[in-house]
Structures are given as structure tokens and as C-alpha cells.
């Protein structure tokens, strides 16, 4: 499939700059998390990549071929949107059949197996589905499409905890069996954190972070302990968040946990733990966060 | 290749509407035939140009064939050019099939009720009048049959393309523009009426020009076929220009 390259892409809606000169490379066979607060530009970016809307400036290319000129560029991408684009009167089994016409690698057996696991009645019409089952239908169609790049925009909308868990499990199994590029745009960071290899964080239409999850999380650490000891430790540190509960405090520190820090932590009797991706995300995308 | 698959999808999704339309159409014609045949005073009763209903039907099909189909192509990441091609491919067999079916229905209907087609009225040898229905006889020569089918085919693809174009203009426009588009035929009619009133010469020339384009005076139906095909091509060119930059609307 190759890499997807986004170069200097901008998009305005009226006076609002939704995507601000974004450049990005999406590597082959990696799982990406596209994160950002509401209105950060995630869906717009995915829509631009898929030619569903047009950028005001910049280029999106796959294997150095401009997507606007290369007709076949999008053949190997399946983009599941929050908005339903399927004909409402169509039955789910018909939808699978038609998708297999447009995606020759569509795996019907897999689609039926997933439908059984998710208890999706394929004889139902799309308009008869609840929000959750509508998401399930789109998830199954996307996963069975056989495309080399799968993009999910808010895939777990309306899904209960069991179905969400099942989706993550199936996605991981499918990825292990058949590596592909996956982009997950979601607000439920805690749940997908385990799946992601790389994350792209958008804020006000700009990329504020594009890193490996492990590398990003290694750049910070969490210390917890008695209030006064934590206060003592963080006074000369770049502390990005503090949680307090009675006489205990927990703080996230941006920076390396080197030998000197470790010694001090030991002296103060603090405990060090890994930072949660969600906490880091909140810091990075909050008002005072990194720009 | 994808445009053919998409055309297959378009045709399959239109088949149900076409079957329903013809069921109603044939039922109405049978009812009229029974009423007229059973009535002793039915002699001298006739109808004409029943293909107009097929024209209206195809215009509505054109109006309805944009949003849902376009969104479905976008869901499958199919390029806009393939969507455009599929629309052009879709209408050809549908229009051809319907024009042939309409001629067959018309010929059967004519056994019971005198009913000239638009082609018969505009290009047929003997003239039809409501006052003297029985004097009119329909020609079933190969020339007439082919002429009727080609005329209807060209007519049908044109109304479909115009329907598609109108719905796309509406999709692209904001509310103000939509109102302007809706009111524009009215303004156009007023302006044309003023021109006809103030400049009768211009009006005569325009009428004569339209007559020539449709080949009515010369009884040449192929002139109208060429004109309709040109109109179809022009409409589809506008459709192509619009479809190149059309986007999925949010919500």
C-alpha cells in the first residue's frame, strides 16, 4: 500500500481555519490514534485524505502519487465515518454484497462471522438499526473490506462496553493476522491506548504531537505520595497535572526520570508510575497545554 | 470498471420504482380501456401522448438519483468521475427499455382506445384531432416504430439529465440560491412573454428556430433526436462540472 503523505494541508470553513498547514506521514502497517478535542479537525483531516472534501491548499499523496490525480489511490482505503453514508433502505446482507463488488478483497465469511459474534441481524435494513448497531454494521463492513488502510472515525459511538471490548479484540486479532494501516479517531483514549503504536494529536487544526506512544509516555512520569513530599519534589519540575486526595497527592512530571530524580524520589518516599495516555492528552490539549 | 458496477447498482435500485410505475400505469390504461369499451357512448373518445407520464417519471428518477447514490459511492471511496460515468451509463438502458416498452404498451392500448404518441402527433403522416378521433390511424411501419423509439429514447435521457442537474444545483446551493433557482423559470417566462409582446418578430424567429431544432415542420424526428442528445450532453457536462467538486455534507 505504501505511505500516506500529507503536505501543508489547510482547510477553512467560512472564517474558521479547521486544518492549519498540516504535514504528516502515515506509515504502512501501523496503528495510529488520531486524537483531539471536539472541533480539533480530526474528521476534516480524514475526509480530506479520503477526498470526501477538498483542502484549500496542500497535497495528499499515496506512494508519491497525488490523490486528486490518481484515480486508484483510494481503492485500498476504507473509511468508516460517524455519518451513515449507506442507503437507508438497503439490507445489511445487500450492503456486504455491494461492498464486495467495490472491494474485491472483501471477506464475506469474516463479515458473517463478525455479524454472528456481534449478534447483528443481516436481514435488517440499515434504517432499522439502533445507533450502536449502526456503528457495528459499519465496523464489520470496514473490517471485512480487505482494504490495506482502515480508517475509523468514532467507531464505538453508541456501543456498549461488551461490544467495545469485542471490537478492540477483533481489530487486534485481525491486525496480527493481517497487518495493515489502521487509523482510529476516538475520544475514548483510555480504551484504545493499549492498541496504538503512534498517536497524532490535533489541537486547533494543528498537529501538536506525532509520536510513538511508548516514546511519548517515556517523556513523562507520575509521582505520588504525601502532599508535602510531592510538593517538595515538583517545585522545580515541569509539572503538568496534580491530583489531590486528602493527604495524598499525585503529579505528572514532564521530563526524564534520571538518576538524580530517582534518588530524590527515594528520599521523599514517593512512588513512580507510568502516566496514562489520557492524562497526557488532557494536558496537551488543554488551554494551557503545549501549542 | 467501477462505473459499470455502480451502474448495475443504480439500475438495480431503480428497478423496483420502475415496476411500481408500470404497474400503476398499466392499471390506469386497462381501467380507461374497460370504461371506454363498455360505454356505448365511448365511440370517439381518445387520449394522446401517454408517454408524458414516463417522461415525468424519469425526471423524478433523475431528481432522486443524486444524494443517496453519491453518498454510497463516497462510502466506498469511488472516484467522482466513476460516479458521473455510472449515471450516464445507467440512464441509457433504462431509457431504451422504457421507450420500447412504452411503444409496445401504446400499440396494445391503441387496439381499444385511439392514442397517438407524441411522435405520431408531431411527425406522423395523418393528423389527429379530438373531434375526429376515428379518422386517425396509427402507422406501424418499421420506420415509425424506430422513429418513435429513438425519439422517446432521446427525450427520456434528456429529461433524466435535466432532473439530475437540477437536484445537483439544489444540493450545491445555499437557501437563497435555491429560492432564486426555483423562481428563475417564472422570471424567464415573464421576460419571454414581454419579448414576445414587444418584439413579435423576435418571437416568430425563436418559434421558427425551435421548430427547426425539433424538425416539426419538416416532419423529421431525427432533428429532435439530435437536439435532445445535444441537450443531454450539455446537461451532463454541467453535471460533470458540479460533480468534480461536490462534497459530502455533514449531518
Note the pTM of the prediction, 2 decimals: 0.87
Model pLDDT, residue B131: 60
The pLDDT tens digits for A9-52 are 999 998 899 999 999 999 999 999 999 999 899 999 999 999 99
What 3-state class would DSSP assign to A21?
strand
The pLDDT tens digits for B124-154 are 766 666 566 666 777 888 889 999 999 999 9
On chain B, the residues whose CB falls within 8 A of the CB of A77 are: 77
User: Is the predicted ipTM greater than 0.90, yes or no?
Assistant: no
- The answer to whether residue A13 neighbours chain B at the CB level (below 8 Å) is no
- Of A288 and A125, the one with more pLDDT: A125
Nearest chain A Cα distance for residue B2, angstroms = 7
- The answer to whether residue A74 neighbours chain B at the CB level (below 8 Å) is yes
Contact residues, B window 60-89, toward A, CB-based 8 Å cutoff: 68, 71-72, 74-79, 81-82
The pLDDT tens digits for A223-248 are 999 999 999 998 888 888 888 888 89
Size of interface A-B (CB pairs under 8 A): 52
- The answer to whether residue B16 neighbours chain A at the CB level (below 8 Å) is no
- The answer to whether residue B13 neighbours chain A at the CB level (below 8 Å) is yes
Label residue B192 by pLDDT band (50, 70, 90).
confident
On chain B, the residues whose CB falls within 8 A of the CB of A83 are: 248, 250-251
Nearest chain B Cα distance for residue A6, angstroms = 18
* Mean pLDDT of the residues in chain A: 90
The pLDDT tens digits for B13-49 are 999 999 999 999 999 999 988 887 777 555 556 678 8
B2-39 in b/e burial notation, b at 16+ Cβ within 10 A? bbebbbebbbebbeeebeebbeebeeebeebbeebeee
Nearest chain A Cα distance for residue B65, angstroms = 12
The pLDDT tens digits for A111-166 are 999 999 999 999 999 999 999 999 999 999 999 999 999 999 999 989 999 999 99
* Mean pLDDT of the residues in chain B: 89
Model pLDDT, residue B129: 62
CA distances from A133 to A138, A230, B10, B203 (A): 8, 47, 26, 62
Minimal Cα distance from A43: which residue of B?
A: B250
| Residue of B7, B76, B81 to mutate for A, most A C-beta atoms under 10 A | B76
The pLDDT tens digits for B107-116 are 999 888 888 8
Residues B165 and B242: their CA atoms lie apart, in Å, by: 9
Residues A15 and A100: their CA atoms lie apart, in Å, by: 41
pLDDT at A71 over 80: no
Minimal Cα distance from A86: which residue of B?
A: B72
Residues B228 and B219: their CA atoms lie apart, in Å, by: 16
Model pLDDT, residue B193: 87
pLDDT at B199 over 50: yes
Whether B74 and A103 lie within 8 Å, measured CB to CB? no
Model pLDDT, residue A291: 42
Nearest CB neighbour to B79, from listed A71, A77, A83 = A71
On chain A, the residues whose CB falls within 8 A of the CB of B2 are: 102
Q: Mention every residue, 6+ apart, whose C-beta is less than 8 A from residue B123.
A: B147, B151, B215, B216, B219, B220, B221
Amino acid at each position: 500500500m505504501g505511505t500516506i503523505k500529507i503536505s501543508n494541508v489547510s482547510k477553512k470553513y467560512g472564517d474558521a481555519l479547521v486544518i492549519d498547514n498540516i504535514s504528516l506521514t502515515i506509515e504502512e502497517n501501523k496503528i495510529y490514534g488520531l486524537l483531539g478535542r471536539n472541533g480539533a479537525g480530526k474528521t476534516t483531516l480524514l475526509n480530506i485524505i479520503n477526498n470526501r472534501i477538498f483542502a484549500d491548499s496542500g497535497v495528499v499523496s499515496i506512494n508519491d502519487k497525488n490523490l486528486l490525480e490518481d484515480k486508484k489511490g483510494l481503492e485500498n482505503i476504507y473509511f468508516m465515518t460517524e455519518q451513515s453514508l449507506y442507503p437507508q433502505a438497503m439490507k445489511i446482507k445487500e450492503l456486504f454484497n455491494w461492498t464486495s463488488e467495490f472491494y474485491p478483497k472483501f471477506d464475506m465469511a469474516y463479515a458473517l462471522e463478525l455479524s454472528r459474534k456481534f449478534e447483528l441481524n443481516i436481514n435488517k435494513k440499515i434504517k432499522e438499526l439502533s445507533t450502536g448497531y449502526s456503528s457495528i454494521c459499519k465496523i464489520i463492513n470496514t473490517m471485512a473490506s480487505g482494504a490495506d488502510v482502515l480508517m475509523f472515525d468514532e467507531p464505538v459511538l453508541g456501543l456498549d462496553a461488551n461490544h467495545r471490548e469485542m471490537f478492540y479484540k477483533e481489530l487486534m486479532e485481525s491486525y496480527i493476522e493481517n497487518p495493515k494501516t489502521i487509523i482510529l479517531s476516538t475520544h475514548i483514549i483510555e480504551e484504545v491506548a493499549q492498541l496504538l503504536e503512534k498517536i497524532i494529536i490535533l489541537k486547533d487544526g494543528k498537529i501538536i504531537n506525532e509520536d510513538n506512544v511508548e516514546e511519548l509516555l517515556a517523556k513523562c512520569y507520575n509521582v505520588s505520595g504525601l502532599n508535602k513530599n510531592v510538593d517538595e519534589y515538583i517545585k522545580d519540575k515541569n509539572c503538568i497535572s496534580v491530583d489531590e486526595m486528602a493527604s495524598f497527592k499525585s503529579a505528572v512530571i514532564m521530563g526524564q526520570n534520571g538518576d538524580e530524580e530517582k534518588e530524590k524520589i527515594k528520599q521523599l518516599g514517593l512512588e513512580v508510575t507510568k502516566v496514562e495516555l489520557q492524562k497526557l492528552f488532557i494536558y496537551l490539549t488543554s488551554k494551557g497545554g503545549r501549542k | 470498471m467501477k462505473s459499470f458496477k455502480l451502474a448495475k447498482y443504480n439500475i438495480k435500485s431503480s428497478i423496483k420504482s420502475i415496476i411500481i410505475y408500470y404497474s400503476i400505469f398499466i392499471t390506469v390504461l386497462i381501467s380507461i380501456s374497460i370504461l371506454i369499451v363498455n360505454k356505448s357512448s365511448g365511440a370517439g373518445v381518445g387520449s394522446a401522448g401517454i408517454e408524458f407520464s414516463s417522461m415525468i417519471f424519469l425526471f423524478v428518477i433523475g431528481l432522486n438519483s443524486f444524494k443517496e447514490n453519491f453518498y454510497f459511492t463516497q462510502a466506498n471511496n469511488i472516484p467522482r468521475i466513476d460516479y458521473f460515468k455510472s449515471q450516464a451509463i445507467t440512464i441509457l438502458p433504462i431509457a431504451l427499455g422504457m421507450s420500447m416498452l412504452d411503444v409496445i404498451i401504446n400499440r396494445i392500448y391503441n387496439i381499444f382506445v385511439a392514442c397517438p404518441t407524441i411522435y405520431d402527433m408531431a411527425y406522423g403522416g395523418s393528423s389527429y384531432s379530438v373531434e375526429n378521433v376515428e379518422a386517425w390511424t396509427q402507422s406501424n411501419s418499421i420506420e415509425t416504430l424506430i422513429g418513435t423509439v429513438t425519439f422517446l429514447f432521446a427525450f427520456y435521457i434528456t429529461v433524466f439529465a435535466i432532473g439530475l442537474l437540477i437536484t445537483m444545483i439544489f444540493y450545491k446551493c445555499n437557501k437563497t440560491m435555491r429560492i432564486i433557482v426555483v423562481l428563475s423559470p417564472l422570471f424567464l417566462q415573464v421576460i419571454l412573454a414581454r419579448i414576445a409582446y414587444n418584439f413579435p418578430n423576435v418571437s416568430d424567429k425563436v418559434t421558427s428556430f425551435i421548430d427547426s431544432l425539433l424538425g416539426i415542420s419538416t416532419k423529421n424526428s431525427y432533428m429532435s433526436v439530435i437536439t435532445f442528445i445535444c441537450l443531454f450532453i450539455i446537461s451532463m457536462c454541467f453535471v460533470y462540472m458540479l460533480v468534480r467538486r461536490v462534497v459530502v455534507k455533514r449531518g
